[in-house]
Structure 1
Amino acid sequence: MENFKKILKKDFKKKIRCAKLSSVDEDEYGEEGLLRMDVGYKFGDYKTLRFLGSGGYATIWLVKNKAERTYEALKITKSYIGDREKAEKEADFMEYMMKMGTHRNIVDFLGGFQITVEDACHLVMRYEVMGPNLYDIIDYKTKFHPDVVRKMIKHLLKAVEYIHRQHIIHMDIKTENMMFEISHEDIRDMAKSTDTTHNIYHLDLTRANSKFTLKLADFGLACIIGPSNEKADPPASPFRPPESVLTLTVDFPIDMWSVGCTIYEIVTRKQLLSCTPEDNDSYRLLHKLAKLLGPIPKAPFTIRTRPDALSVFGDDDCIHQGNPNVRRNFANAARKYLNDDDSEAFAKFLIQFFEYDPKKRVTAKEALKNWFIVPKGDQSIRENEVICLSKLTYNIHFSVNKTSESAFSYAIENSQLLAVFVCQRENSIQGQPLS
């Protein structure tokens, strides 16, 4: 039996390399920049074990919480006040949601605190340790079982349905912000590993009954539904709907457009809209959308319209760039990964996310009932997916933004060998640890 297991391990435990994690440029450590750290850095009850990545304004570290004897992921911001305010906003939303109860498809927030080093203040947010993001797995181009694709989409929709019920608009839904839950075994192995080039995760995405959980992360751009949202940052260009260009309206349909873009990427392994830096020109983006999805009418965007927006429409009150067969194009894009029937069902399902009129765009709750997602009539929303917080404790030391305070009041089992996803990393943290 032992020899049989060794043979299985040799044959099936394959290493799949994901994209390299982002490196940290030396100039990011300058004045008002990142906290210079290295493996073994100690502060309070925490000791850094491994660099996990970096974002626009923070680094993420795997740490050991010595007081609670647990592993956590710490997101540590730059000291620049604007970046600290972004982090504080993110923490406010996470705290608000945690009070409602945790959800299986939302990354768990454990609290936060601030540290001051050499007169520079950095905010620290504590999260559960997660595995690779969906973008890295898609980028590798491993072939998923069609039922795995459905499950991925379902997990995304469940997360969005939940936050919308809590009156929250995420504003940054994309594959990079969908994270895979990993086992305690994986976390422990990652913490003990001396290999600084790879993280190894046991994830099986090739079989119909593959077990995994995807969670929505990064609420740094999120906002509460309401009239104060006019200044909210829009989604990135590839995920941005027409109303966020043409009007001041910020509402749930913005997220649903981004969800549609994300679903397209999950199924086809390509972004729906490839954007260059020049496409940050909002009206250039509209012309690309019209070419891809058909003429954009002015009628849905006449309320709370931006002052200069109406000039982009032609004499017939439309933006024209051709008349593509959108449904056929969606189906053809999916055929490399789905059979003909599923490709047609996918196209019919997806087109609902790209209704130009936000009022006609599908909601997360409606999408979860679509037979492309639940072909066997499975119940898509279950009460037990929201977990009571009676036993969950966390501490938050951030100052709550008073302007939003009123708004907040509203295995390896059965000896099955799993595919091993290896996120290639580089030892990119420069400089000496602080003493």
Structure 2
Amino acid sequence: MGARSSDILCDDIFGVSPIRVQKSGNLEGMHVRKNSLRDNWDDEHGYYKYHLGEVLDGHYRITAGSGKGVFSTVVQAKDLKAGENDPEVAIKIICNEKERYKSGKREVSVLEKLSSADREDKRHCVRFISSFMYRDHLCLVLESLHMNLREVIKKFGRDIGLKLTAVRTYSKQLFIALKHLKDCSILHCDIKPDNILVNGSRNMLKLCDFGSALPAGINDITPILVSRFYRAPEIILGLPYDHSLDMWSVGCCLYELYTGKILFPGGTNNGMLWLHMELKGPFPKKMLRKGAFTTQHFDQDLNFHATDENLVKKAVNKVCMNVKPSGVGPKISSFPGEDPKMLSRFKDLLEKIFVLDPQKRLTVSQALSHPFITGRSMGGRKCALLAELPGGRYHIRQYLS
């Protein structure tokens, strides 16, 4: 992805990092100060300035920084009360800002609901441990995992992807997570490789970062929900949305896992729609007529109107209505040692996920029963390890124990 990678992977769902003037007042135990410096433990934007060795809530000793999001900082810590039993945790420290606090409380509510419905921790959503207030920051304590899928792709499959057996293992786990979300009536609304964590053995993944999650049902229509490359067309067009928006995002992740490349790298929503149509053909007119934002991208005759700078340079406009869709298949190459039948099933799975009409898109139940996921039955208990193949590709080697 070259020198632009750090730029094109930015999340336009969040916009600019928050720089706001605090007002005095309280919000359920949160004391917001008038002091613009937030004393000396916050920076000017409300991020907590932690230091290594600091102990939070009396028993979480910070051991390392783990990243900085738009509205939070994540640190690794050791639970001093845990003894030898899984003492490592991740702590998400929410910015000291009223709206961010409210958003963090909603995330806590989502995590509590998901965890209470998964007592045995088998549904591949990050395990929530607790939350607490520390120096006016809401802190979320979560299980600590090794790396995210973006890092896995860069380290083990940059530009070439992972072995198909690894993709199948990860696919099934993602669909189990989607099934859990649906059972709990929750939309994740920001599934992407960065928000999927894997364990140290890289044989198990979990969905994380539920800061954008919404209850299933009637929600506000907005064209910037979900990070752009993983954004379903119904979001861009301004249509009602449900669990199918998360299925589209998962499909984008699976393609990226196998190929090492982003499927829809559009620079704008307009550019995204063009890429969608290049792959799957024109949108159903019935779908376009119902979109709240259709007129931003289509004329009164429902012909595509290119406003994206790159598309304008290419003189792309009404011609797209006559473009023959390529489909997913031609974009996926076969590599030595791949099972042709499994690869064919993978292509079929993606074709069924990338259906423009969300009402006709593959459901999570259908995904879990798809031949690519079920494969051949194997006796015994399956285990998996990430192993290297000739040519730099990696796969999850399965064996019976």
Task: Please give the TM-score of this superposition, normalised by the length of structure 1.
Answer: 0.67
Alpha-carbon distance between aligned partners in 2 of 1:317 and 1:297, rounded to the nearest angstrom: 10
1:288 is displaced (CA, Å) by 2.8
1:315 is displaced (CA, Å) by 6.6
Q: Aligned to 1:98, which of 96, 104, 115? A: 115
Does 1:125 find its partner at 2:135? no
Q: Aligned to 2:129, which of 95, 106, 110? A: 110
Does 1:164 find its partner at 2:182? yes
Alpha-carbon distance between aligned partners in 2 of 1:55 and 1:311, rounded to the nearest angstrom: 30
Alpha-carbon distance between aligned partners in 1 of 2:223 and 2:134, rounded to the nearest angstrom: 28
Does 1:39 find its partner at 2:39? no
Alpha-carbon distance between aligned partners in 1 of 2:303 and 2:343, rounded to the nearest angstrom: 30
Does 1:285 find its partner at 2:272? yes
Partner of 2:343 in structure 1? Answer: 343
Is the 1:300–1:358 contact (alpha carbons within 8 Å) kept by the matching residues of 2? no
Which structure 1 segments of 5+ residues have no match? 1-18, 183-202, 205-211, 380-410, 420-435
C-alpha RMSD of matched pairs (Å) = 3.1
Q: Equivalences for 1:264-413 in 2 at 5 Å?
A: 264-276=255-267, 279=268, 282-303=269-290, 305-306=291-292, 308-310=293-295, 312-313=297-298, 317=302, 319=304, 321=320, 322-332=323-333, 335=335, 338-377=338-377
Is the 1:247–1:301 contact (alpha carbons within 8 Å) kept by the matching residues of 2? no
Letter in 2 for 1:374: T
Does 1:244 find its partner at 2:245? no
Does 1:77 find its partner at 2:94? yes
Partner of 1:63 in structure 2? Answer: 77
Does 1:150 find its partner at 2:168? yes
Residues paired across the two proteins, number:
324
Q: Aligned to 1:140, which of 135, 144, 155? A: 155
- For residue 250 of structure 1, give the secondary structure of its aligned residue in structure 2: coil
- For residue 151 of structure 2, give the secondary structure of its aligned residue in structure 1: helix
For each residue in 1:102-138, what CA deviation from the matched residue of structure 2 results, as whole angstroms up to 9, or x when unmatched? 442111001101112xxxx211000011111111011
Partner of 1:30 in structure 2? Answer: 43
Structure 1 residues 372 and 418 mapped into 2: Cα distance closer, same or farther (>3 Å)?
Answer: closer
1:247 is displaced (CA, Å) by 2.2
Letter in 2 for 1:353: I
Structure 1 residues 376 and 340 mapped into 2: Cα distance closer, same or farther (>3 Å)?
Answer: closer
Answer with 308-317 or 64-73: which moved more: 308-317
1:46 is displaced (CA, Å) by 1.8
1:90 is displaced (CA, Å) by 1.1
For each residue in 1:126-184, what CA deviation from the matched residue of structure 2 results, as whole angstroms up to 9, or x when unmatched? 001111111101112346443222101111111011111111111111111111123xx
1:31 is displaced (CA, Å) by 2.5
Is the 1:297–1:317 contact (alpha carbons within 8 Å) kept by the matching residues of 2? no
Partner of 1:52 in structure 2? Answer: 66
Letter in 1 for 2:180: Y
Structure 1 residues 337 and 316 mapped into 2: Cα distance closer, same or farther (>3 Å)?
Answer: farther
- For residue 39 of structure 1, give the secondary structure of its aligned residue in structure 2: coil
For each residue in 1:347-379, what CA deviation from the matched residue of structure 2 results, as whole angstroms up to 9, or x when unmatched? 111011111111100011111111112211579
1:81 is displaced (CA, Å) by 1.9
Alpha-carbon distance between aligned partners in 2 of 1:132 and 1:162, rounded to the nearest angstrom: 22
1:316 is displaced (CA, Å) by 5.7
For each residue in 1:54-78, what CA deviation from the matched residue of structure 2 results, as whole angstroms up to 9, or x when unmatched? 2222221121222333221111121
Letter in 2 for 1:61: V
Alpha-carbon distance between aligned partners in 2 of 1:229 and 1:316, rounded to the nearest angstrom: 27
Alpha-carbon distance between aligned partners in 1 of 2:153 and 2:237, rounded to the nearest angstrom: 32
Structure 1 residues 365 and 84 mapped into 2: Cα distance closer, same or farther (>3 Å)?
Answer: same
Alpha-carbon distance between aligned partners in 1 of 2:232 and 2:162, rounded to the nearest angstrom: 28
Is the 2:280–2:356 contact (alpha carbons within 8 Å) kept by the matching residues of 1? no
Which structure 2 segments of 5+ residues have no match? 1-5, 11-16, 20-40, 305-318, 389-401
Aligned residues with identical type, % of pairs: 25
Partner of 2:34 in structure 1? Answer: none
Partner of 1:180 in structure 2? Answer: 198
Letter in 1 for 2:153: I
Structure 1 residues 335 and 162 mapped into 2: Cα distance closer, same or farther (>3 Å)?
Answer: same
Is the 2:73–2:93 contact (alpha carbons within 8 Å) kept by the matching residues of 1? yes
- For residue 373 of structure 2, give the secondary structure of its aligned residue in structure 1: coil
Is the 2:255–2:262 contact (alpha carbons within 8 Å) kept by the matching residues of 1? yes
Letter in 1 for 2:186: I
1:231 is displaced (CA, Å) by 5.6
Structure 1 residues 295 and 337 mapped into 2: Cα distance closer, same or farther (>3 Å)?
Answer: farther
Task: Please give the TM-score of this superposition, normalised by the length of structure 2.
Answer: 0.73
Is the 2:54–2:61 contact (alpha carbons within 8 Å) kept by the matching residues of 1? yes
For each residue in 1:366-397, what CA deviation from the matched residue of structure 2 results, as whole angstroms up to 9, or x when unmatched? 11111112211579xxxxxxxxxxxxxxxxxx
Answer with 163-172 or 56-65: which moved more: 56-65
1:342 is displaced (CA, Å) by 3.3
Structure 1 residues 285 and 146 mapped into 2: Cα distance closer, same or farther (>3 Å)?
Answer: closer
1:284 is displaced (CA, Å) by 3.4
Alpha-carbon distance between aligned partners in 1 of 2:284 and 2:252, rounded to the nearest angstrom: 20
Is the 1:232–1:250 contact (alpha carbons within 8 Å) kept by the matching residues of 2? no
Is the 1:253–1:363 contact (alpha carbons within 8 Å) kept by the matching residues of 2? yes
Alpha-carbon distance between aligned partners in 2 of 1:33 and 1:360, rounded to the nearest angstrom: 44
Q: Equivalences for 1:219-258 in 2 at 5 Å?
A: 219-230=210-221, 234-258=225-249
